[in-house]
Amino acid sequence: MTRTLALCALLLTVALPAAAKQTPTPTPSPAPAKTGPAGENQGAGPAALTFAGLTGSAVQFLFDAERKDKKGTVALDWSTGTTSMRITLSAPLNDDEETTAATLTGLANGAEFRYALSSLSNPGPNPEEQEKIKTLCQGLVTAHNRRTPRRPVTLDDCNRDFVAAEDADKLALFDFYHHLDKPIWLRGLEVGVSQAKYKYLLPVSLESKSASHANFLATARFGRYSVPTGFLIGSVSYTRNYEAAGDPQTICRSLQGVDDATATRCASGIIGEPDLTERALASLEIRKFFSDYKAITPSVSYGRARTNSGDWEGVWSVDFPIYFIQGPGGTLGGVRFGWRSDKKEVTASIFVGAAIALLK
């Protein structure tokens, strides 16, 4: 765990000064455009994509204590518009609703540390080009309102369809300012480590034992966005987790060397040491939006798992959600089709959930 603390200190040392140097400077925005379920610009192109909150320079501290889950969390968010970083430290709450996330020897029992970084290339318009877009749109909007005063429009309506309908000769210039011919590239990384203490009983003697183990996860993502195809995202992840050997049991055994056969010794707990499971997962996903509530997010995944036996087992899976239902409170719904190679069957279900994001 000494290495864990050193890693945490190193990341904080690198991240905090960099975050402190960032000064929130507002940049001119192009004419707003209507957005879809993930903030995807339906008309003006990549310039107005929000990409899961990457919308300007900011440093934000988050504190949360969930009484229901008995967990306290502190997080540092840092965003520069094209790069987003989050450092998170969480730990269980005690009876006084206080938490100890780390000690001098490492992470406390049940504590977890995570570091996530996402970066996007930004071929969108620079401030000068944004002003040109605004000027272009303002001229078209003014001309439209003079020509049809009974059906006025605003800058919010200035998307590709509006420009094409008002003055098709300016559509190429509109696209040029937005750099719609240039794809946006995504790079992401997340690492995490947690500490857990497991109590168990030895199978034969029922002697009480305990062991502390560190769990680990790492994920890397790479993606490409373009207006015609949507977002194509590939990811690879690895987890190394210790899990309890089973549910707690109560076992009673006769006492040796005692004449009374009814004399027994009972012990309650989990029998056996915790099991180590390693998992590796690779997936490829497409996220394509057609309107405010219509989208498809098909994905193909291949996962392998290895337990204490040492054997690796692999499973292919296909998931194909189709969003076409707009529900209350910003929820979206649709139908989902799936297939797993281990079960050899196709599944279909109806779902309703939170609105999907372009990257989440």
pLDDT score of 271: 84
Cα separation, 109 vs 73, in Å, equals 14
For the chain of 360 residues, list the mean pLDDT of each consecutive stretch of 10.
Answer: 44 39 34 35 34 45 57 79 84 63 60 89 79 93 93 90 92 84 88 88 80 91 86 94 82 71 74 88 92 88 84 91 85 92 91 72
Q: Which residue intervals of the chain are DSSP H helices?
A: 2-21, 127-147, 160-166, 171-178
171-178 helix and 127-147 helix, angle to the nearest 10 degrees: 150
Name the DSSP letter for residue 7: H
Q: Which tens digit of pLDDT belongs to each residue from 153-166? A: 999 889 888 999 99
Residues making up the chain, counted from first to last = 360
Residue 330 vs residues 24, 42, 325, 335, 337: alpha-carbon distances, Å: 29, 18, 11, 17, 23
Cα separation, 299 vs 283, in Å, equals 7
Contacts of 221 by beta carbon, 8 Å cutoff, 6+ apart: 118, 186, 187, 188, 189, 233, 234, 235
Say if residues 271 and 251 touch (Cβ distance below 8 Å): yes
Cα separation, 342 vs 304, in Å, equals 12
- Kindly provide the b/e burial profile for residues 327-341, where b requires at least 16 CB atoms within 10 angstroms of the residue's own CB: eeeeebbbebebebe
- Kindly provide the b/e burial profile for residues 292-313, where b requires at least 16 CB atoms within 10 angstroms of the residue's own CB: ebbbbbebebebeeeeeeeeee
Other CB atoms within 10 A of residue 348 CB:
9
The DSSP H or E segment spanning 212 is strand 208-226
Helix/strand/coil for 304: strand
Helix/strand/coil for 292: coil
The DSSP H or E segment spanning 324 is strand 312-326
Q: Which tens digit of pLDDT belongs to each residue from 173-182? A: 888 888 777 7
pLDDT score of 187: 93
Other CB atoms within 10 A of residue 226 CB:
15
Q: What are the phi and psi torsion angles at 224 (to 5°)?
A: -140, 130
Please report where in the chains the tokens 């649709």 appear, as a residue. 334
